[in-house]
């Protein structure tokens, strides 16, 4: 699932082509938004909070979209559009100006809100790891909330309530960087270490927004961008042990967690160290 750094880049691209321009075409192919007409209104800005893209529109409206696991926004010149792209059944939103056509495909969420209600609608989110007003006090609050979490430290990192914007890639990478077992109870992790991990995430994700794809290693070459994420079945770059993957979090909301048993203190619960299961080949 795209995380805050990737969503930042998407929002910036949309803002570049849409801000200040009237919407000549608006199609929201989503049951709860299909009857809302935003045609003719100008885009004020496209921004984001955590993993949510907020398209603020003249008249006090906000179009909220969420990319989910594999959603995307494509930006086209109208003259370059192909019939296949236009009639794609996976297209959930179409926004067009005189110069650009933006297609939201495989979106997980599409909603239209009054802009004044954004705070209420997103009140469940914790501090945004990439928020411009992030400071030492906010970081300390996020770290304290993670430390007090009632689940494992890996599940806490993925829970958007203590701190928002971090997903499977960055949670796996920060836990690997700090040699922390993802299935260790959050309350058993040294609070100072949690604070260091929060600071590391902020620095690394801010660095990531400057590049077309996230990279933890510094390499932009395919297959070389991470230490453990999406590398199950491959040798650990640090010690050579085979990287593993196992589901983490509440049973109904489990997410894949990639880890090195040697560097991070052992196998995950339920991982017998044998052949990798289905998650091992998915790389998500």
- Tell me the pLDDT tens digit for each residue of 123-174: 999 999 999 999 999 999 999 999 999 999 999 999 999 999 999 999 999 9
Does residue 266 share a domain with residue 140? yes
- CA dist 276 and 268 (Å) reads 12
- pTM of the complete model: 0.92
196 is catalytic: no
Question: Is residue 41 annotated as part of the catalytic site, yes or no?
Answer: no
Same-domain pairing of 182 and 251: yes
Q: Which of 3, 9, 64, 173 is catalytic?
A: 3
Q: For residue 255, name the pLDDT band (cuts at 50, 70, 90).
A: very high
Instruction: Tell me if 131 is assigned to some domain.
Output: no
Residue 278 reports pLDDT greater than 80: no
Residues 278 and 140 in one domain: yes
Looking at the structure, do residues 142 and 81 belong to the same domain, yes or no? Answer: no
48, 56, 202, 255: the catalytic one is 255
Q: Do 49 and 161 fall within a single domain?
A: no
Which residues form the domain of 151?
Answer: 136-282
Distance CA 203, CA 213 (A): 16
**What is the rounded CA–CA span in Å between residue 231 and residue 268?**
16
Kindly state whether residues 113 and 152 are assigned to the same domain. no
At residue 282 the predicted structure's pLDDT band, cuts being 50, 70 and 90, is very low
Same domain, 107 and 217: no
Q: 68 to each of 73, 91, 92, 259, how far by Cα in Å?
A: 12, 14, 13, 23
CB of 228 closer than 8 Å to CB of 173 = yes
Asked if residue 263 and residue 142 are part of one domain, the reply reads yes
pLDDT at 82: 72
Which pLDDT score, from 0 to 100, does residue 281 have? Answer: 42
Cβ-Cβ contacts under 8 Å for 101 (sequence gap 6 or more): 25, 75, 76, 77, 78, 81, 94, 95
212 is catalytic: no
Which residue in the list 48, 49, 51, 225 is annotated as catalytic? Answer: 51
Mean residue pLDDT across the chain: 93
Do the domain assignments include residue 169? yes
**Inter-CA distances, 242 with 32, 60, 196, 227, 257, Å:** 46, 52, 27, 12, 14
pLDDT computed for residue 283 by the predictor:
38
What's the whole-number mean pLDDT along residues 99-107? 96
DSSP labels for 45-84? EEEEETTEEEEEETTTEEEEEE-TTT-EEEEE-GGG--HH
Q: Is residue 26 included in any domain, yes or no?
A: yes
Residue 214 binned pLDDT confidence (cut-offs 50, 70, 90): very high
Shared domain check, 159 and 54:
no
Q: How far apart are CA 272 and CA 57, in angstroms?
A: 52
Averaged pLDDT, 184-193: 98
Short-list 54, 166, 200, CA closest to 113: 54
Question: Which of the residues 2, 182, 214, 261 is marked catalytic?
Answer: 2
CATH code for the domain in which residue 78 is found: 3.20.190.10
Q: What is the gyration radius of the CA atoms in the chain, in angstroms?
A: 20
Model confidence band, residue 277 (pLDDT cutoffs 50, 70, 90): low
Whether residue 210 lies in the annotated active site: no
CA distance 221 to 83: 33
Last residue of a domain, one of 57, 90, 121: 121
- For CA atoms 123, 105, 165, 149, the dihedral sign is positive
Same structural domain, 110 and 144: no
Mean pLDDT of all residues in 219-229: 94
How many domains would you assign to the chain? 2
Asked if pLDDT for residue 211 goes beyond 50, the answer is yes
Q: Are residues 92 and 169 in the same domain?
A: no
pLDDT band at 118 (very low <50, low <70, confident <90, very high): very high
């Amino acid at each position: 699932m795209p995380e805050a750094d990737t969503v930042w880049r998407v929002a910036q691209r949309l803002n570049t082509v849409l801000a200040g321009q009237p919407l000549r075409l608006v199609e929201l192919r989503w049951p709860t938004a299909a009857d809302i007409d935003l045609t003719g209104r100008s885009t004020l800005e496209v921004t984001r909070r955590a993993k949510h893209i907020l398209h603020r529109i003249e008249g006090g409206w906000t179009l909220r979209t969420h990319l989910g696991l594999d959603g995307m926004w494509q930006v086209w010149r109208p003259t370059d559009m192909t019939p296949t792209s236009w009639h794609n059944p996976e297209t959930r939103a179409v926004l067009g100006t005189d110069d650009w056509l933006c297609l939201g495909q495989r979106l997980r969420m599409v909603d239209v809100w009054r802009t004044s209600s954004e705070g209420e609608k997103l009140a469940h989110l914790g501090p945004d790891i990439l928020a411009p007003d992030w400071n030492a006090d906010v970081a300390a609050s996020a770290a304290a909330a993670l430390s007090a979490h009632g689940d494992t430290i890996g599940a806490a990192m993925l829970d958007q309530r203590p701190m928002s914007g971090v997903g499977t890639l960055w949670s796996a990478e920060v836990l690997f960087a700090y040699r922390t077992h993802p299935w260790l109870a959050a309350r058993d992790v040294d609070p100072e270490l949690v604070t260091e991990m929060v600071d590391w995430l902020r620095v690394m994700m801010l660095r990531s927004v400057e590049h077309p794809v996230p990279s933890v290693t510094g390499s932009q070459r395919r297959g070389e961008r991470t230490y453990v994420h999406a590398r199950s079945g491959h040798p650990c770059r640090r010690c050579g042990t085979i990287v593993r993957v196992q589901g983490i979090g509440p049973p109904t909301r489990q997410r894949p967690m990639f880890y090195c048993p040697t560097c991070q203190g052992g196998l995950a619960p339920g991982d017998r160290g044998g052949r990798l299961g289905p998650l091992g080949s998915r790389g998500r």
